[in-house]
Structure 1
Amino acid sequence: MTTDPWGRVDEDGTVYVRTGEGERVVGSWQAGAPEEALAFFRRKYDSLVTEVELLEKRLRSTDLSATAAMANIDKLRTAVKDANAVGDLDSLSQRLDKLADRAEERKVEQKQAQEQARSQAREIKERIVAEAERVAVETTHWKSGGERMLQLIEEWKKAPRADRPTEQALWKRMSAARNSFSKRRKTYFANLDQQREGVRAEKERIVSEAEALSNSTDWGPTARAYRDLMQRWKASGRADRSSEDKLWGRFKAAQDVFFDARNATFAERDAELRVNAEAKERILAEAKDEIPGISDPRRARARLRDFQEAWEEAGELPRDVRDQLEGAFRQIEDGVRRAEDAEWERTSPEARARAKDTVDQLSTAIAGLEAKLEKARAADDARRIKEHEAALEARRSWLAEAEKALDEMS
């Protein structure tokens, strides 16, 4: 009989392996020497050792899941238990027990990591959903809001997955936010279309009125009517772009017809009125040269009437010089009126009375100051002497002016 620390071959070629539970038959050998039989079954044992070592290495150096590791361990347990091999099968079982312990540890670690990952995924997706809900409720910038909603959907798809109930609940909120935004946007543009249709109808009416006025020759009222129509146009808002452009083209064309005709008529009229302008320029020059030299306001008023009559007879002025010439002539009229007002002020009884009262008051004040000055001189009060002399000088100057004005009124 040939033996080995972990097995033997008896005389009839039966091969045994020794385990903690005793011997068991692993095979028979009839084709050669017993040593060859033991070597053959030891190689089978070495294969098992290699598989165990490989699993140990994978569990130690890779991210092999605990579930996969336990499946491999269970498979190897069965293989070792039923192995037709000669070797230390008990030690292999013990190594597999240690591997099972390590797999259980990994199971706990992986569960913790999974819970952490799901928690992080939940936080990420809750943030995405919260922003989507904010966009759905608050945003009125529809283009940028729609783009952001699409971006959030893509962020959701790329984000890690949480647990199934959380995923379903958050996706329900996400979908509701997207639908709410789409509904609000659709309602807005539906209302906007309705508003624009109202604007378009109003501008159709404005354009129709403008076109009806385009051939009018009632220049002043029609020009004011066009200004009113323009105010209505601006206040009515905007229609859709296509209608807006077409309606504005019609409105502008109607205006141009009227104003071009008016400008042509005014230009022709201004040319005819140029002779009137030349006549009024001569009248203005004569009036400027003559009237300022007349000292008597009544004579100046009489002469002004002659110029005013000539001015009226000269006729209407062209628009380009109307304000300039009319303004210059009004200055001459204003000068005559100021001279008349000054003459009336100078010769009126009320004015003479006021001037006489001023002279009397100043004379009385001067007499009083002269008396005070004499007292100050008698008292040799230098300060009061100086004060009274200065006051007397000022009032004597005022009295001379007041007496002059009173003489001119006499």
Structure 2
Amino acid sequence: MSSDPWGRVDETGTVYVRTADGEQVVGSWQAGSPEEALAYFERKYEGLVVEIGLLEKRVKTTDLSAKDAQTAVDHLREQVDAHHAVGDLDALRARLDKLVELVDKRREERKVQRAKQSDEARGAKEALVAEAEELARSDQWRVAGERLRSLVDTWKGLPRLDRKSDDELWHRFSHARSAFSKRRKQHFAQLDAQREEARKTKERLVSEAEALSNSTDWGPTAARYRDLMSEWKAAGRAQREHEDDLWNRFRGAQDVFFAARGSVFAERDAEQAENLKLKEELVEEAEKLVPVSDLKAARAAFRSVNERWEAIGHVPRDARPKVEGRMHAVERALQEAEETEWRRTNPEARARAEGLTGQLQAAVDKLRAQIDQARAQGNNAKADKLERELEGRQALLDQALKGLHEFGG
């Protein structure tokens, strides 16, 4: 018979382990000496010691879930309770009991942490909903639209709540965005309707101006042309593709009339020569507004010039196309600046540009993360391949950012 402090082998080859509850049968050994039997089951014990030590380290130093940790503890406890090893099994049970206490503690800590994170996420989402509902009433279409898009990105970065709460808050958030989009569409639809109405009004003014162009009733017809000009200005701008053509026809009809009147009133040449001098001075003043740097100030200055221009009267017929052409060139430059400003602040076009930029930026960020991961894993071939792909995506992103910059972004 052979023995050590934790076990023995009797004369029949049966191996026992000593525990607090008395000796327990470990197994039967017939293949060699009692010392070899004890050594074999002692190695079994050492294996359990190593496994428990590794599990203790995982529980203390990793984010092993409580469920997985408990499963591992139960598995080891079954092996200890099976008594198929020779050693201090009671000490191993004590270590497993302490592990269970640590796992339970971690479980409670994580439960508290999740509750705290949930409360913080709820507060953050409620704040986003409140701001979105406030923005839904805004008339600052570009600024409010950009802010709502930013709120969506913030929302996506927050943890989910319980399904009912999360769905309710998202419904309010989504409803606010939809309400804003609906109002914005209505606004621009109304703007389009106003431009269509202006086109119809100017079509009518052009028809009357062309009908009057051959009149020889100089005084009343000239007065009517002045009224038509006032109505033209009050009508607002038509669509860009119609505005210039209508203007050219409108001014052309007046030119026919005033050219005829000019030939009849040749004696007014001296007065018209003075008018030409004054208008040339006004044109020079107007031309200083181009290129346009401050659109609002340029509009106001041009209105002032134009009012004085209209008050001056006619110029000699042969000089009129040149001086009026110069004036109209300034007006066209202002109109183009207005169109450029409208396109730059167009929320739909900006949204498309931002959406593309956001997608490309996300792709670039993802590739960079994959490259870092590949480098960390020593997979340089994969990292080099990803870097070549990154170069292409970065080029597309740079181009998209350049386009977005044209919107003032």
Q: Same fold (TM over 0.5)?
A: yes
Which residue of structure 2 lines up, in the alignment, with residue 27 of structure 1?
Answer: 27
Partner AA of 2:91 in structure 1: S
Which residue of structure 2 lines up, in the alignment, with residue 225 of structure 1?
Answer: 224
Aligned mates of 1:141, 1:195 — CA distance in 2? 19
Matches for 1:8-19 after TM superposition, within 5 Å: 8-19=8-19
CA contact (8 A) 1:117 1:162 kept: no
Aligned mates of 2:249, 2:83 — CA distance in 1? 100
Residue-by-residue CA offset, 1:371-399 (whole Å, 9 max, x unaligned): xxxxxxxxxxxxxxxxxxxxxxxxxxxxx
Aligned mates of 1:203, 1:53 — CA distance in 2? 90
Partner AA of 1:122 in structure 2: R
Aligned mates of 1:272, 1:69 — CA distance in 2? 105
| Rg (Cα) greater in structure | 1
Relative distance call for 1:46 and 1:264 in structure 2 (3 A) is: farther
- Pairing 1:47–2:58 present: no
Secondary structure of 1:16's counterpart equals strand
Which residue of structure 1 lines up, in the alignment, with residue 133 of structure 2?
Answer: 133
Residue-by-residue CA offset, 1:288-335 (whole Å, 9 max, x unaligned): xxxxxxxxxxxxxxxxxxxxxxxxxxxxxxx99xxxxxxxxxxxxxxx
Relative distance call for 1:150 and 1:271 in structure 2 (3 A) is: closer
Aligned mates of 1:256, 1:46 — CA distance in 2? 110
CA contact (8 A) 2:17 2:83 kept: no
Deviation at 1:200, TM superposition (A): 1.9
Partner AA of 1:238 in structure 2: R
Relative distance call for 1:218 and 1:49 in structure 2 (3 A) is: same
Partner AA of 2:70 in structure 1: M
Which residue of structure 2 lines up, in the alignment, with residue 57 of structure 1?
Answer: 57
Relative distance call for 1:271 and 1:5 in structure 2 (3 A) is: closer
Which residue of structure 2 lines up, in the alignment, with residue 88 of structure 1?
Answer: 88
Deviation at 1:113, TM superposition (A): 0.9
Aligned mates of 1:253, 1:27 — CA distance in 2? 116
Aligned mates of 1:264, 1:120 — CA distance in 2? 83
Relative distance call for 1:48 and 1:258 in structure 2 (3 A) is: farther
Partner AA of 1:218 in structure 2: D
Matches for 1:180-191 after TM superposition, within 5 Å: 180-191=179-190
CA contact (8 A) 2:16 2:23 kept: yes
CA contact (8 A) 1:196 1:238 kept: yes
Deviation at 1:264, TM superposition (A): 4.5
Which residue of structure 1 lines up, in the alignment, with residue 148 of structure 2?
Answer: 149
Aligned mates of 1:30, 1:261 — CA distance in 2? 134
Secondary structure of 1:238's counterpart equals coil
Which residue of structure 1 lines up, in the alignment, with residue 108 of structure 2?
Answer: 108
Deviation at 1:32, TM superposition (A): 1.7
Aligned mates of 1:83, 1:143 — CA distance in 2? 75
Secondary structure of 1:85's counterpart equals coil
Matches for 1:195-234 after TM superposition, within 5 Å: 195-234=194-233
Which residue of structure 1 lines up, in the alignment, with residue 267 of structure 2?
Answer: 269
Secondary structure of 1:17's counterpart equals strand
Aligned mates of 1:160, 1:70 — CA distance in 2? 27
Relative distance call for 1:258 and 1:82 in structure 2 (3 A) is: farther
Secondary structure of 1:173's counterpart equals helix
Which residue of structure 2 lines up, in the alignment, with residue 120 of structure 1?
Answer: 120
Aligned mates of 1:37, 1:229 — CA distance in 2? 118
CA contact (8 A) 2:27 2:84 kept: yes
CA contact (8 A) 2:125 2:169 kept: yes
CA contact (8 A) 2:26 2:85 kept: yes
Aligned mates of 2:116, 2:210 — CA distance in 1? 75
Aligned mates of 1:256, 1:17 — CA distance in 2? 121
Which residue of structure 2 lines up, in the alignment, with residue 178 of structure 1?
Answer: 177
Return the TM-score normalized by structure 2: 0.61
Aligned mates of 2:182, 2:118 — CA distance in 1? 32
Which residue of structure 1 lines up, in the alignment, with residue 239 of structure 2?
Answer: 240
Structure 1: which 5+ residue stretches go unaligned?
274-318, 321-410
Deviation at 1:272, TM superposition (A): 11
Residue-by-residue CA offset, 1:187-209 (whole Å, 9 max, x unaligned): 22333333332222112111111
Partner AA of 1:166 in structure 2: S
Deviation at 1:150, TM superposition (A): 2.2
Partner AA of 1:8 in structure 2: R
Which residue of structure 2 lines up, in the alignment, with residue 304 of structure 1?
Answer: none
Aligned mates of 1:269, 1:172 — CA distance in 2? 77
Partner AA of 1:269 in structure 2: E
Relative distance call for 1:262 and 1:11 in structure 2 (3 A) is: farther
Deviation at 1:270, TM superposition (A): 4.0
CA contact (8 A) 2:24 2:83 kept: no
Aligned mates of 2:99, 2:269 — CA distance in 1? 116
Structure 2: which 5+ residue stretches go unaligned?
272-313, 316-409
Partner AA of 1:219 in structure 2: W
Secondary structure of 2:17's counterpart equals strand
User: How many pairs were matched up?
Assistant: 273
Partner AA of 1:30 in structure 2: Q
CA contact (8 A) 1:15 1:29 kept: yes
Deviation at 1:100, TM superposition (A): 1.0
- Pairing 1:166–2:179 present: no
CA contact (8 A) 2:25 2:83 kept: no
Deviation at 1:94, TM superposition (A): 0.8
